[in-house]
């Protein structure tokens, strides 16, 4: 599938390498550091990329427009992408599009739209929103439908190993086939069963061997799309889509599996277990990173609840996407928070101040700002702290109290662009 156009990244080479990035891993509940690129300690052969930091971020299910919750999550992983690059990593980034799944088919049926058209339309809108927000595009943007052969291959592999069974033609995965099942979320069985039921699972389906076993391949239902395969005519389950795409496009033991915190369980738990059960000794991701949930009017912003603030709507209303991005960055990516109109007006004021400051021929000293911004981002993507440092610089510069450094604005403009993704 086609991704979107990445923004240009200004070079910060003259500022030296940024610190190694530490990021919170939900599985270990500790900080994960991607090893310092070998290219910095000894070099690697030209053309090879043994040092690439590899990241898979779960993409949208394209049945409605991008809301600020989605945007916050993708901007969070964009910060990681940028922080890794600043630290000297090459980044290999893969994202999927769940372009066939129950919510998409239900919405298409409810609105009398062709499901393929709906998915294409909303994916295109997502691309436009990501471009406007200056999110670096993934190297591979991969649809579920185009990945069906990969899914079939992985299910086949699981079946060879005896971890797949049939319930009325649907194929299920025995989740406990992976001895590490449960280690991504750390939840006990009671909590898992509760969440499984709430988040698209079917703990109560009769005929299953264990309530938590999850669907790998769903046999054709009347009126729904289906594909012929050695598994019978049907369509892929959700979790195995991401296992298959990530393994194929990134390989095992990639650095970060990312998404919003609503994906910790069951999605990331199941995806990891499916991949790990398929191959002896395989580690799926080395770290599982989750963004907090953005709420609106008292509830998690969600397509199914309809309490949405859409990026595209704000853009249509003439809001500067850079103000939207700055408003998102004012909240730490791991916190749950609620969007209010005040977030946007505050960000607009800051953005205007920053723009005024960077156009001055000289400004406050930059070395400490560069250090503070990079240190904050390397410390579990602390964007509120990073933006605060830029804010302090802009205040000092605009007040004229300290204009000791000629060309300071140009340094800050590049820093803010490359590390925070905000074009001034
Ligand atoms: N297609 C699957 C992942 S494979 C999916 O969850 N799609 S989604 O469209 O529902 O969500 C896309 C991404 O946005 C996911 O990472 C999800 O965790 C995140 N997300 C959804 N709602 C919110 C929210 N209110 N706040 C923050 N992130 C959110
Ligand atoms: Zn996913």
pLDDT beyond 70 at 42: no
Q: Among 154, 130, 148, 9, which residue's Cα sits nearest to residue 62?
A: 130
Q: Among the residues of 210-310, which ranges form H helices? A: 238-250, 269-278
What architecture is domain 319-420? Up-down Bundle (1.20)
Strand partners, 289: 258
Question: Alpha-carbon distance 277 to 173, whole Å?
Answer: 10
CB distance 144 to ligand 1 below 6 Å: no
* pLDDT on residue 305: 82
The pLDDT of 412-421, averaged and rounded, is 98
In this prediction, residue 50 carries a pLDDT of 59
| Parallel/antiparallel/unpaired status of strands 170-173 and 214-219 | antiparallel
Mean pLDDT, the chain, as a whole number?
A: 94
Residue ranges per structural domain of the chain = 319-420
Please report the atom of ligand 1 found closest to the CA of residue 241.
4
C-alpha of residue 200 to centroid of ligand 2, in Å = 13
Closest ligand to residue 143's CA: 1
Contacts of residue 114, Cβ cutoff 8 Å, sequence gap at least 6: 108
Task: Report how far ligand 1's centroid is from the alpha carbon of 5 (Å).
Answer: 21
Residue of the nearest CA to atom 16 in ligand 1? Answer: 259
Task: Indicate if ligand 1 lies below 6 Å from the C-beta of 107.
Answer: no
Ligand 1 site, residue 240, Cβ cutoff 6 A: no
Ligand 2 center from residue 292 Cα (angstroms): 16
Summarize pLDDT for 293-337 with one digit per residue, the tens. Answer: 999 988 888 877 888 999 999 999 999 999 999 999 999 999 999
Q: pLDDT tens digits, residue range 151-189?
A: 999 999 999 999 999 999 999 999 999 999 999 999 999
69: which 2 tokens? 């919750």
Q: Are 217 and 242 in contact (CB under 8 A)?
A: no
For ligand 2, the distance from its centroid to the CA atom of residue 145, given in whole angstroms, is 14
| Ligand 1 neighbourhood includes 150 CB (under 6 angstroms) | no
Q: Which residue is closest in CA terms to ligand 1's atom 24?
A: 69
Nearest-ligand number for the alpha carbon of 293: 1
**pLDDT above 90 coverage of the chain, percent:** 90
**Mutation test of ligand 1: which of 55, 56, 57, 59 has the most ligand atoms closer than 8 Å to its C-beta?**
59
Instruction: Tell me which of 299 and 243 has the higher pLDDT.
Output: 243
User: Which atom of ligand 1 approaches the CA of 103 most closely?
Assistant: 10
Least distant ligand from the CA of 258: 1
Q: Tokens 């069906």 map to which residue?
A: 148
How many angstroms is it from 83 CA to the middle of ligand 1?
22
pLDDT of the residue at 307: 85
- Work out which ligand 1 atom sits closest to the CA atom of 259: 16
Q: Poorest-confidence range of 125-129, 198-202, 291-295, 402-406?
A: 402-406
| For residue 48, pLDDT beyond 80 | no
Task: Report how far ligand 1's centroid is from the alpha carbon of 28 (Å).
Answer: 22
Ligand nearest to the CA of 73: 1
What are the DSSP calls for 285-335, one per residue?
A: EEEEEEEPPEEETTEE--TTTT---BHHHHHHTT--HHHHHHHHHTS-TTS
Q: What's the mean pLDDT in 241-263?
A: 97
pLDDT category at 36 given cuts 50, 70, 90 is low
CA 284 / ligand 2 centre spacing (Å): 13
Query: Residue 102's closest CA among 7, 241, 206, 230?
Result: 241
pLDDT of residue 51: 67
Q: Is 96 in the pocket of ligand 1 (CB under 6 A)?
A: yes
């Amino acid at each position: 599938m086609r991704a979107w156009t990445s923004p240009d990244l200004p070079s910060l080479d003259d500022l030296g390498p940024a610190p190694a990035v530490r990021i919170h891993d939900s599985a270990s509940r500790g900080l994960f550091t991607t090893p310092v690129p070998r290219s910095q300690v000894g070099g690697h052969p030209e053309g090879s990329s043994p040092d690439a930091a590899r990241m898979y971020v779960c993409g949208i299910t394209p049945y409605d427009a991008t809301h600020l919750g989605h945007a916050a999550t993708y901007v969070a992983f964009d910060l990681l992408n940028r922080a890794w690059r600043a630290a000297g990593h090459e980044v290999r980034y893969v994202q999927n599009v769940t372009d066939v799944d129950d919510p998409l088919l239900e919405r298409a049926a409810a609105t009398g739209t062709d499901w393929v058209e709906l998915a294409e339309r909303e994916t295109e809108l997502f691309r436009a929103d990501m471009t406007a927000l200056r999110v670096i595009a993934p190297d591979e943007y991969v649809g579920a439908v185009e990945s069906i052969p990969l899914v079939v291959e992985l299910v086949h592999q699981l079946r060879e190993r005896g971890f797949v069974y049939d319930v009325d033609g649907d194929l299920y995965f025995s989740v406990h086939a992976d001895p590490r099942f449960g280690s991504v979320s750390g939840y006990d069985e009671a909590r898992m069963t509760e969440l499984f039921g709430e988040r698209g699972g079917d703990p109560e389906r009769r005929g299953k061997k264990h309530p938590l076993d999850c669907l790998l391949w769903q046999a054709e239902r009347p009126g729904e799309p289906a594909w012929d395969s050695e598994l019978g005519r049907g369509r892929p389950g959700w979790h195995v889509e991401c296992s298959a795409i990530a393994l194929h496009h990134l390989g095992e033991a990639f650095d970060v599996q990312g998404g919003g915190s609503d994906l910790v369980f069951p999605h990331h738990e199941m995806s990891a277990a499916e991949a790990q059960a398929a191959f002896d000794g395989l580690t799926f991701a080395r770290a599982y990173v989750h963004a907090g949930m953005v709420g609106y009017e008292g509830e998690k912003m969600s397509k199914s609840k309809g309490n949405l603030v859409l990026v595209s709507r704000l853009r249509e209303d003439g809001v500067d996407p850079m103000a939207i991005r700055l408003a998102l960055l004012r909240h730490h990516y791991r916190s749950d928070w609620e969007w209010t109109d005040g977030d946007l007006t505050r960000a607009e004021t800051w953005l205007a101040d920053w723009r005024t400051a960077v156009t001055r021929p000289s400004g406050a000293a930059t070395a400490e700002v560069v250090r503070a911004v990079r240190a904050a981002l390397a410390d579990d993507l602390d964007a509120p702290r990073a933006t605060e440092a830029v804010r302090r610089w802009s205040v000092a510069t605009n007040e004229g109290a300290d204009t000791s450094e000629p060309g300071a604005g140009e340094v800050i403009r590049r820093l803010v662009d490359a590390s925070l993704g905000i074009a001034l």
